[in-house]
Structure 1
Amino acid sequence: MSTQSQEPMPMTWLDRAYENYYMRSSHVVSDRQLESLDPVGLRPPLGKYIAQLWQRRHFIWADARAKALGSQRGTLLGNAWLIVKPMLDALVYFVIFGLLLQTSRGIENFVGYLIIGVTLFPPLQRSITGGAQVVRNGRNMIRGFSFPRAVLPISYTLRSAIDTLPPLASVLFLVAVLPPHALPTLHWLLIIPIFLLQFMLALGLTFFAARITTLFPDMRNIWPFLTQFWFYGSGVFFSYERFIDHPTVLAFMDVNPGYLILTMYRDCILYDAMPDTRSWALLITWTFGALVLGFVFFWEKEVAYAVER
C-alpha cells in the first residue's frame, strides 16, 4: 500500500517575519564579527598592539611567576644557589682583584662595593644574553597561539626581576653584618626606584637583543663577549678613575648606565648618601629611551618572529 506524501504546511506571515528577522540579525552579527577581525600575518597598529598586551597582563604575570626561581631546580641546594653563587663570585674577585692586584685601594668598604657590583650587574648582562633567546625559546608558543610577541620579552624581564630579589636581600644582609657594617638607613628606600629603573632599562635592552638575534642568529655567540666588555667597563670590582686618565674615555664611561646603576646602589646602601641629580637624570633618560625605542624596534618586526630560521 502506497503512502501519500504530506504537503508542507504553508508559511504564515509570522513565520516569514521571523525568518526575515533572523536572516537580517545574522547578517549584522557576521558583519560586526568581520569588522573586529584582523588580517592574518599583518602587524597591528602600535596603539592596538599595546592594548593587546594590556589585555594579557594577567597571563604575563602568571607566566613570569611560574618560571621564576626555577633556574636551579634539580640541584641539591635549589634556590639557595641564587644567593650562594653571587657570593662565590664576589669571593673570587676579592681574592684576585682585591688581594692580589690591590684594586681595593682608595675604595671605602671594598667588600660591600664588590658584593653590590658582582650581584646586581649580571641581571643587566642577562637582559641581553638571555633576552636574545626569548623568541627562539618561545617558538612552540608562537606556532600554537596568536598573541603580541612582546609578551615574551616582558615575561622574561619580570622573571629576571623576581630572580634578583633573593640576591638583593642577601646583599643587604651581608653589607650590614660584614665590617665595616653599612647599617640600614632611610636612604635604603631609594633601592626601590633604582631597582625599577634597572629592570625597565633591562626590558628595553631585551627588546633590542631579541629582534637583532632573531634576524641575525649568529649574535647569540657575540652578545656574551660584548656584555663582558660592559661588565669590566662598569666599575664592578674596581674604581676605573685610578687606571684611566684620558678625559674623553672617562666622560664616556661616566655616562655608562651600568656604572650609574651600581654607583647609585652603592651611594644609598654603603655610603648613606642620596645619588646626585645628574645620576638620576642620566639613568631616567637611558631607561625610558631604551624602553620606548626598544619596544618600537621590536614591534616593527612583529611578523618576522613567526618565520622559521
Structure 2
Amino acid sequence: MTQTDLRPGPSQGSTGQDVSDSSFSIGSRRVLELDGSRLLRVGARPSLGQYLKELWHFRHFLFYDSRSRVSSQNNLDSLGRAWMLINPMLQALVYLTIFGIILETSRGVINFIGYLIIGVFTFRFITSAVTGGATSIANNQRVVQSFNFPRAALPISATVRELFASIPVFLLMAVLVYFLGDYMIGGLEEGVVNITITWHWLLFFPAILLALMVMTGLGLLLARAVNAHNDVRHLITIGTRIWFYTSAVIFGVDRFADAGHGWLVTVMHLNPAFCVLDIIRHAWIYDGFADPMRWVVLGSWAVGLMVIGFLVFWQGEETYGRER
C-alpha cells in the first residue's frame, strides 16, 4: 500500500510566485490551509455586545419597515386609513353608551367623556403594540429563515409601527378631549371641570415614551413564547382583555375602593397601563400631576421589561425560524 505524502510546501501561481505559505501537497494536488478561527456557525447567537451593535446597524430598517407598513394598512378598504380614526371613535361611542349611560359606570368620575376617550384611545394603542410585537416572529417565518439579521428587529419594528400609526389617533384624541371632554349629556352629571390646554399636556410625551418601552419589552418576551408555543396567542387575547378591565379604562378606580376591594385597587396602581392613563388624564383633564408613584411604577416597569425582555429574546436567537 502506498502512503499519501502530506508534506508542507509552497504553492505557486502561474507566475511562479508563492500563493500561500500554509499549503500541503497531496499527491499532485496542493490544498490551501485556511484560518477558520473567525468563522461562526450559521445561525449561531452572537455575543450581547455584537448583537446590540448589529441591531444598531439595522436602525434604518426599523423606521423604514414601520413607515411602509403603516402606509399600506387598510389600502383595500374604501375609506383607507380613515379607519384608523373611525375604529377608536366607534369603540369609545359604544363604551359610552353601554357602560357610561346604561350601566352608569360614570358615577364618581368628573369629565367622564374625556376620561373615557383617553382610556379607549390609549389602551387600544398599548394592546396593538404588544400583540404586534408578540406575533412578529411567528408571522414572518419566511423572512427569518431567508435573511441573516438580529431577530429583535422584528418585534421592535412592530412596536414602533404602532406608534407611527397612532400619531393621527393621538391628535384626534387631543381634539376630542379638548372640545368634548367636559361636555355633559343625559345621565352624566357627576360634575365638570373646564378643560384648558396648559404645559401639563406635555407630560403626555414622556408617559408615552415609557409606555413604548414597556410594550417593547413585553413584546420581546411574548415573541419568544409565541415562537416556541403558538397556543400562547390565545392566552394573549385573554390576557389583554383582563388587562383592559384592570386598567380602569371605562370606569373610575375609586368605585372598587368604596366597595371594599382594596386589593384590586393595589393591583391597578401597580399596573403600568393604568399608570399611563392616570398620568395623561391628570395632565389633560384635571390640569395637574398624577401621584408621583405612577411615574415610579411606570419607570420601573419600563426599564425592567426592556432589560429582561431583551435578554430573554437574545437567549433564544438560535431558535427563531426553525421548522415546527
Aligned equivalent of 1:272: 287
Residue type of the alignment partner of 1:75: D
Deviations 1:223-271 (A, max 9, x none): 1111101101110010132134222222122111111111011111111
Selected match of 1:202 from 215, 231, 235: 215
Selected match of 1:248 from 233, 239, 263: 263
Aligned equivalent of 2:62: 60
Deviations 1:14-40 (A, max 9, x none): x65xx23x53699xxx64xx4543221
Selected match of 1:231 from 244, 249, 252: 244
Aligned equivalent of 1:37: 39
Instruction: Name structure 2 gaps, 5 residues minimum.
Output: 1-14, 24-33, 183-193
Q: Which TM-score applies when normalising by structure 1?
A: 0.88
Alpha carbon RMSD of aligned pairs, Å? Answer: 2.1
Q: CA deviation at 1:182?
A: 2.4
Aligned equivalent of 2:170: 168
CA contact (8 A) 1:128 1:223 kept: no
Selected match of 1:23 from 1, 20, 25: 20
Higher relative contact order (Cα pairs below 8 Å, separated by 6+ residues): 1
SS in 2 for 1:217: coil
Q: CA deviation at 1:151?
A: 0.8
Q: Distance in 2 between matches of 1:241 and 1:25?
A: 79
Selected match of 2:80 from 73, 78, 81: 78
Instruction: Tell whether 2:114 aligns with 1:99.
Output: no
Q: Distance in 2 between matches of 1:144 and 1:41?
A: 11
Instruction: Tell whether 2:199 aligns with 1:186.
Output: yes
Deviations 1:39-95 (A, max 9, x none): 213211111111110111111211111112433221111111111111110000000
Aligned equivalent of 1:302: 317
CA contact (8 A) 2:115 2:281 kept: yes
Residue type of the alignment partner of 1:162: F
Selected match of 1:258 from 263, 270, 273: 273
Deviations 1:189-233 (A, max 9, x none): 111111111111110110011111111111112211111011011
Residue type of the alignment partner of 2:284: I
CA contact (8 A) 1:203 1:291 kept: yes
Q: Which TM-score applies when normalising by structure 2?
A: 0.84
Residue type of the alignment partner of 1:306: G
Q: CA deviation at 1:174?
A: 0.8
Q: Distance in 1 between matches of 2:51 and 2:248?
A: 39
Q: Distance in 2 between matches of 1:156 and 1:103?
A: 34
Q: Aligned pair in 2 of structure 1 residues 272, 25: CA closer, same or farther (>3 Å)?
A: farther
Selected match of 2:230 from 204, 217, 220: 217
Instruction: Tell whether 2:151 aligns with 1:149.
Output: yes
CA contact (8 A) 1:143 1:306 kept: yes
Q: Distance in 2 between matches of 1:179 and 1:71?
A: 29
Instruction: Name structure 1 gaps, 5 residues minimum.
Output: 1-14
SS in 1 for 2:174: helix
**Structure with a larger share of its residues in helix:** 1
CA contact (8 A) 1:69 1:162 kept: no
Residue type of the alignment partner of 2:310: F
Instruction: Tell whether 2:184 aligns with 1:177.
Output: no
Q: Distance in 2 between matches of 1:179 and 1:55?
A: 44
Residue type of the alignment partner of 1:193: P
Q: Distance in 1 between matches of 2:105 and 2:126?
A: 23
Aligned equivalent of 2:9: none
Q: Which runs of 4+ in 1 moved over 6 A?
A: none
Q: CA deviation at 1:140?
A: 1.2
CA contact (8 A) 1:175 1:183 kept: no
**Structure with a larger share of its residues in strand:** 2
Aligned residues: 289
CA contact (8 A) 2:195 2:285 kept: yes
Q: Distance in 1 between matches of 2:286 and 2:100?
A: 19
Q: Distance in 2 between matches of 1:36 and 1:94?
A: 62
Q: Distance in 1 between matches of 2:37 and 2:57?
A: 19
Residue type of the alignment partner of 1:159: R
Residue type of the alignment partner of 2:243: W
Q: Distance in 2 between matches of 1:35 and 1:186?
A: 58
Q: Aligned pair in 2 of structure 1 residues 299, 179: CA closer, same or farther (>3 Å)?
A: closer
